[in-house]
Each structure stands twice: as structure tokens, then as C-alpha cells.
């Protein structure tokens, strides 16, 4: 097992997320207290905890949707409040069933990942279109591009949301229970795909899951850290010498 201090010294492994003494409550309900944790570049972190333990709340804090009442969060070495480069982070929230009448097509949902926080409407460039085709190809859903998102199965919708999160070629992917509610075979191929992205494409992962067998099979039997009801299982991907970046969408597609 590679020592994390050695990883940091290697230079190409920056700190992607740092939680320092984070506490959060909803009204008088304390959800978490004094949580500290670091995610290094190319870690795969499995976040485990019982229902209501605060996993989703923690992810929402990292992507700026909730603010910690105490402590601090930094992203890519910057305090979260000053962090602007949201394209570096792909976030797939917990699965929600789409109304079959929801009017967007799969391609439109994937493209909406490009709009960023402030640019809801803008003209699509040729490059935008080509990135969306790459993202659809990487998730093997090109043939679904013109379908309504609401008409897809749960597993297909999960692929669409992952394609949407990948379109900006993020360094960090945050997935909230991506495997829940989909059939075992699709779960396995989905998990296989994200492991591949971790091992071969330098992506850092933070994933909430209730599937202990899958988590342990990849991340080991014991959590690296525990804080309150939250457990963090961690695996680092790689050999130290390889610090090159890749264009994930292109290379995933090429590998087919």
C-alpha cells in the first residue's frame, strides 16, 4: 500500500478536497460534528453510513449547496468560497425518477452539463456537440441520444447522468448512490466502468454506496477513517511515476 505522504511528495498528486473540523446541523438536529478528511488526486473514496448518517449532506457541502456551520472545506487547494472552477467537479446526485413526460432528450440533458452555474443559455459550438457525442459514446448510449430522458430505464438514466457529469472532463467525480435501484447486471457493468475510469483515466472519485460487497471488493475490508456515523474507504489508483493527464472522453471512446 502506498503511503499518503509519499503520494503528496510526488508533486503531481494535489489535495482535491480537504474537510477540516466540519460540523453541520439542520435546525437543532446535529448531522455531523468535527469531520476532517482529505481526498488526494486519484483516490477512490467510498463513503459509507447508515440512512440519515449525513452522506448526501456532506456531498452537498463539498459542491457548495450546503455551508458548514463550523470548520472549513477547500477544493483543489482553495477555500470553497473562492473556488470557481466547477468544471473540474462532476456531481451525480442521488437517483430520481424522471417524469416520463419531462420534455428534454438524452442529448439535451448531457449537453446541459456544459452550461455551468452562470451560463444557463448559450449557443452550442461545434466542440460542445462533439463533446456530447464523445460523452454519449463513452457511456455507450449514442443510440439513445434522441429519446426523452423520462422514457429510459433507471440504469439507462444513470448512464445519462454520468455522461452529463463527464462532459467537462472533470478531475473529481462525486456520485451519490449511483448503483441503487438498478439491476445487478447493470450495477456490475457500471461499477466496472467507474473502476476503469479510476485506474486508467486519473479520475478521483467520491462515491456514496450501500453496497458493502462492491465497496469492500475494490476498496478493502476496513475503512481508512471514521468520523461519527461516516466511514471512508479509500484506494489510491496508480504507480507514482505516471502523472500524465488524459482526455477521458476521447480515450474511453477509443477503447470502446
| Residues of this chain that bind ligand ATP (CB under 6 A) | 26, 31, 49, 51-57
Beta strands in 12-163 (DSSP E): 15-26, 29-40, 43-48, 70-75, 78-79, 89-92
**Cα–Cα nearest to 37, from 90, 91, 73:** 73
Q: For residue 33, give every residue at least 6 positions away whose Cβ sits within 8 Å of its Cβ, in sequence order, or none.
A: 23, 228
52 or 100: CB nearest ligand ATP: 52
**Pick 26 or 115: Cβ nearer ligand ATP:** 26
User: Cell numbers at residue 20, please?
Assistant: 477540516
Of 60 and 148, CB closest to ligand ATP: 60
Quote the least distance from Cβ 179 to ligand ATP, whole Å. Answer: 13
The C-alpha cell at 165 is 457529469
Give the residue with the Cβ less far from ligand ATP, 54 or 178.
Answer: 54
Task: State in angstroms the smallest separation of the CB of 136 from ligand ATP.
Answer: 29
* Least distance in angstroms from the C-beta of 246 to ligand ATP: 32
Residue by residue, DSSP assigns 65-92 as: SS--SEEEEEETTEEGGG---GGGEEEE
CB of 57 to ligand ATP, least distance (A): 3
Question: Please, which residue, 167 or 179, has the CB nearer to ligand ATP?
Answer: 179
Tell me the closest approach of the beta carbon of residue 79 to ligand ATP, in angstroms: 23
Spatial distance between the Cα atoms of 156 and 141, rounded to a whole number of angstroms = 8
What backbone phi and psi angles, to 5 degrees, belong to 14?
A: -80, 165
Amino acid at each position: 500500500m502506498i503511503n499518503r505522504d509519499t503520494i503528496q511528495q510526488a508533486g503531481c498528486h494535489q489535495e482535491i478536497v480537504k474537510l477540516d473540523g466540519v460540523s453541520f446541523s439542520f435546525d437543532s438536529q446535529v448531522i455531523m460534528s468535527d469531520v476532517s478528511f482529505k481526498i488526494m488526486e486519484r483516490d477512490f473514496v467510498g463513503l459509507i453510513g447508515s440512512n440519515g448518517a449525513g452522506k448526501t449532506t456532506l456531498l452537498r457541502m463539498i459542491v457548495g449547496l450546503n455551508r458548514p456551520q463550523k470548520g472549513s472545506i477547500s477544493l483543489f487547494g482553495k477555500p470553497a468560497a473562492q473556488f470557481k472552477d466547477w468544471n473540474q467537479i462532476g456531481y451525480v446526485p442521488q437517483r430520481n425518477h424522471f417524469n416520463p413526460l419531462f420534455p428534454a432528450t438524452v442529448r439535451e440533458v448531457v449537453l446541459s452539463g456544459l452550461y455551468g452555474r452562470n451560463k444557463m443559455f448559450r449557443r452550442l459550438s461545434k466542440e460542445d456537440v462533439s463533446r456530447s457525442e464523445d460523452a454519449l459514446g463513452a457511456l455507450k448510449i449514442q443510440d439513445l441520444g434522441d429519446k426523452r430522458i423520462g422514457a429510459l430505464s433507471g440504469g439507462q438514466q444513470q448512464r445519462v447522468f454520468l455522461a452529463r457529469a463527464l462532459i467537462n472532463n472533470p478531475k473529481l467525480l462525486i456520485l451519490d448512490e449511483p448503483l441503487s435501484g438498478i439491476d445487478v447486471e447493470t450495477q456490475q457493468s457500471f461499477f466496472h466502468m467507474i473502476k476503469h475510469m479510476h485506474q486508467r483515466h486519473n479520475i478521483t472519485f467520491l462515491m456514496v454506496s450501500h453496497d458493502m460487497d462492491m465497496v469492500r471488493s475494490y476498496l478493502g475490508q476496513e475503512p481508512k477513517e471514521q468520523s461519527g456515523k461516516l466511514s471512508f474507504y479509500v484506494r489510491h489508483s496508480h504507480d507514482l511515476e505516471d502523472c500524465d493527464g488524459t482526455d477521458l472522453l476521447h480515450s474511453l471512446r477509443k477503447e470502446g
